Amino acid sequence: MTIEDTNGSIESISAVTLATQSMATSVKFYRSLGFELASGGSHAEFTTFRVGGQYLNIIVAAGEPAWWGRVIFWVADVDRMYRRALEAGWSPEAPPRDAEWGERYFHLSDPDGHELSFARRLTE
């Protein structure tokens, strides 16, 4: 099913932008998980990572960002990503699990408290 408006249909998310207190900390976090740096970097005010054919943007913002929801990233191997997060020194919420809605996933918060979910559809 597609959602349509007067200009056509919505096809996909192009990018998600998250606020950070420290670009250096955010860049270190995302790079440690294997995100590909497309532009910006530790000392930039705005950084972009490639996520498949889409983008994750990080912008420096004053004040504390409020929790707003979760970004879900499809990964080839959930357990491998979980081990990578642990090896990088991060603390996922819980080990990966198979959910009743047909995904294997785990959650991890970035240094600014944005909740990330790494998931893969279960095969039937």
pLDDT attached to residue 9: 57
pTM of the model: 0.73
- Mean pLDDT (the chain) is 86
Q: What's the number of CA atoms in the CB half-sphere (13 Å) around residue 100? A: 0
Comparing 7 with 89, the larger pLDDT belongs to 89
Is the per-residue pLDDT at 61 higher than 90?
no
Q: Where in the chain are the domains?
A: 4-121
Q: Give the mean model confidence (pLDDT) for residues 33-59.
A: 94
**Fold classified for 4-121:** 2,3-Dihydroxybiphenyl 1,2-Dioxygenase; domain 1 (3.10.180)
pLDDT score of 101: 84
